[in-house]
Amino acid sequence: MKQIIHFFILAVFSISLASCVGDDIVNDRVAEELKITNAIDTIGFESTYLFESRYLDNVGQRQEINVEWSSSNEDVISITNDGWAEGVGSGSAIITAEYQGIDDYLIDEIEVVVGANTTEVEVENITKEGTIMASSFYVLEGAFTVQEVDGDLLVEIAEDYKASTALPGLYVYLSNNPNSIGGAHEIAAVSTFNGAHTYTIPNVGIDDYKYLLYFCKPFNVKVGDGAF
Amino acid sequence: MKKSIIYIAAILFLSTSVFAGGPWPQPKGVGYFKLSEWWTSFDQHFTDEGLLDPNSTTGIYNTAFYGEYGISNRVTLIANANLFSRNVINNQVSGTNGSIIIPGDSYNGLGDIDLGIKYGLTAPGSKYPVAITATFGLPTGATNEGALGNLATGDGEFNQMIQLDAGTGFKLGGLNAYASAYGGFNHRTNGFSEEIRFGAELGIGLLDSKLWLATKLNVVESLQNGDTAETTTSTSIFANNTEYSSFALEANYYVTKRVGVSANVAGAFTGAIIAAAPSYSVGIFYDMGK
């Protein structure tokens, strides 16, 4: 009888040892990205302008970095390490932002002309399009558009949208990584499973995120995504 | 509507008790008692279409008591209680930089308790016994636990199940053997779909009936009449309309005349909204009927 009890205790103990929280590895590598976020067409002669940039690391998360700024012609436009540029001569120059990333050497550049006044690049009311596609065997599909309206992001899901009602805890996010909600912006729990509907996300720009990501929150499973 | 995939997995396989139950009520004053450790860990599940999808590695570990006791030759009281239940969900770790994207979690607590009463419709000793069992599932376990509310030790609903069992004992190549089958209806509350349940079991005694090997088939069909993520008022993190067909193998060995050890492996081979991984259990039992 003692042997039986010992056997049972040993079995329970062994099982308990195996019941610790472990790690699941998520394949979340994406290409790094460096972008000048406040491009201008023209910089005023003897005017200054502060260029800004955004860096997304190799998991799509924004990181603050020290970008290396340079001008292709310092006699036309000079620029400091902080990104302060000044129009000092007539003509044009290429303004370059550079950064040695984790995986890649990143470069973004724009051409700027020196003129009478500083002029930002004219951005029309851009509407980006995308298609939601399932990455799982749950039904999830539909077209969508994204546009910036009065500083908010408007995500309009089209009439052809369908999502499975069987999966519990489905949430929708904005993300820069199609495989991870790390650094993502949670929009809402999904409450519409068929047809057109709209999400308005305050204080989010159209270039801040690249993917609409559907994620089963309780079981930490990606259900689908749509790039835009 | 509060029932997680992991908890459903527990229900599925804990119900696999091949060495007691069936259409044979315990004789008056006789009981069968079992203490077991049951566990499963899964990183994929059956979708609503019956296909396999991945999920965070999730484990559930239950220490359970099962008991039957005859208060007359035809009436047996039954208890099936998860005395201690542990749920674990893994960290989600970036394969790129090693950071934790979503922290894992665990929860320990009391699980649900099923209480039942079995009545022998045929006279004790009948060649083809038939019994009816009413089971009441008490929601004593916890739901919505953990930081994300995705851990549970119970389903949070009071269900009532009526089940009819029939079977027979026979000789198979000179060995003692038995076969039984059951069908049941599970009425569930709190937005859960009702279920039709049926199954069959075959067992054979070896080593002068000291070792019993058994196999069991369990099938659950949902009536799909409960809440879904679309109709529930909450943004439910739990699943409904679970279905499965599972297969179990069990060995019970009498170490002494009345005391024995058991081991069981079970798993769903088809299913919907349920874990897709085998479960295991080991236990010790005391059989007063020997």
Residue carrying structure tokens 């599970």 = B186
Which structural domains are found in chain A, ordered by start? Answer: 33-120 (2.60.40.1080), 127-227 (2.60.40)
- Which residues of chain A are within 8 Å of residue B93 when distances are taken between CB atoms? 23-26
B177: phi then psi, degrees, rounded to nearest 5: -150, 165
Q: Please give the structure tokens belonging to residue A160.
A: 């052809």
Q: Please tell me the predicted confidence (pLDDT) of residue B13.
A: 46
pLDDT exceeds 80 at position B86: yes
Residue carrying the six token digits 């599932």: B137
Domains of chain B: 5-287 (2.40.128.130)
Rounded to an integer, the average pLDDT of B76-99 is 95
Please report residues of A whose CB lies closer than 8 A to that of B4: 218
Q: How many CA atoms lie within 13 A of A181 on its CB side?
A: 22
Q: What is the per-residue pLDDT across B250-263, written as a single tens digit (0 to 9) for each?
A: 999 999 999 999 99
B143 to chain A, closest Cα gap in Å? 13
pLDDT at B237 over 50: no
Q: Establish if A176 touches chain B: CB-CB under 8 angstroms.
A: no
- Consecutive H or E run containing A14: helix A2-17
A39 three-state secondary structure: coil
ipTM of the complex as predicted: 0.86
Q: In this complex, do A28 and B94 lie within 8 Å of one another by their Cβ atoms? A: yes
Rounded to 5°, angle at Cα A91 from A87 and A95:
60
Name the residue among B86, B83, B80 with its Cα closest to residue B14: B80
DSSP A6: H
* A212 close to A223: Cβ distance less than 8 angstroms: no
Tokens of B158: 């009071």
Residues in chain A: 228
Token digits of residue A206: 């159209």
Q: What are A173's two structure tokens?
A: 């996010």
Instruction: With cut-offs at 50, 70 and 90, classify the pLDDT of residue B239.
Output: low
Cβ–Cβ gap A8/B104 under 8 Å: no
Phi, psi of A227 (to 5 degrees): -80, 150
Measured between beta carbons, the chain A residues lying within 8 angstroms of B284 are 4-5, 7-8
* pLDDT in the model for residue B10: 45
Query: CB–CB of B246/B217 below 8 Å?
Result: yes
CB B260 within 8 A of CB B285: yes
pLDDT in tens, A58-99: 999 999 999 999 999 999 999 999 999 999 999 999 999 999
Mean local confidence (pLDDT), B19-24: 80
Selection from A218, A220, A129, A222 nearest residue A177 by Cα? A222
Provide the pLDDT for residue B15.
43
Distance, in angstroms, between B37 CA and closest chain A CA? Answer: 6
- DSSP-derived letter for residue B100 is E
Per-residue pLDDT band at B168 (split at 50, 70, 90):
very high
Picking from A17, A19, A140 by the largest number of B CB atoms within 10 A of its own CB, the best residue to mutate is: A19
Helix (H) or strand (E) holding A17: helix A2-17
CB B6 within 8 A of CB B14: no
| 8 Å CB contact between A69 and A95 | yes
Distance between A155 CA and the closest CA of chain B, angstroms: 20
- Residue A208 and residue A187 in contact, taking contact as beta carbons nearer than 8 Å: no
Per-residue confidence (pLDDT) for residue B231, from 0 to 100: 73
Distance CA B63, CA B110 (A): 10
pLDDT score for A16: 67
Return all residues near B138 (Cβ < 8 A) that are at least 6 apart: B112, B113, B114, B115, B158
**Rounded to whole angstroms, how far apart are CA atoms B4 and B239?**
6
Spatial contact of B78 and B68, defined as CB atoms under 8 Å apart: yes
Contact B88 A21 (CB under 8 A): yes
- Cα→Cα distances B268→B42, B50, B61, B223, B245, Å: 12, 11, 18, 19, 5
Mean pLDDT of B249-277: 94
Closest CA to B283 of A4, A128, A73: A4
Beta carbons of B245 and B6 less than 8 angstroms apart: no
**Taking Cα atoms as reference points, which of B76, B71, B88 lies closest to residue B131?**
B76
Alpha-carbon distance B193 to B242, whole Å? Answer: 9
Following DSSP, what letter does each residue of B231-288 receive, concatenated?
TSSS---S----EEEEEEEEEEEESSSSEEEEEEEEEEEEEESEE-S-EEEEEEEEET
Phi, psi torsion values for B275, nearest 5 degrees: -60, 140
Q: Which amino acid does the sequence have at B214?
A: A
Closest Cα in chain A to B59? A19
- Which residue, chain included where needed, has tokens 């998520």? A26
The CB density around residue A100, as the number of other CB atoms within 10 Å, is 9
User: Which residues of chain B lie closer than 8 angstroms to A16, CB-CB?
Assistant: 61, 86
Is B96–A190 a contact, with Cβ atoms under 8 angstroms apart?
no
Q: What is the DSSP letter of A20?
A: S
Minimum Cα–Cα distance from B64: chain A residue:
A12
Mark the ranges of chain A whose per-residue pLDDT is less than 50: none
3-state secondary structure of A7: helix
The pLDDT value given to residue A13 = 66
| Model pLDDT, residue B232 | 64
Q: Among A12, A56, A190, pick the best mutation site for testing chain B contact (most B Cβ within 10 A).
A: A12
Q: A35 to chain B nearest CA, in Å?
A: 22
Residue B244 has what pLDDT?
94
At A1 the pLDDT is 67
Place of tokens 């689908």: A224
- Using CA coordinates, name the residue in chain B closest to A27: B95
Mean pLDDT of B158-176: 96
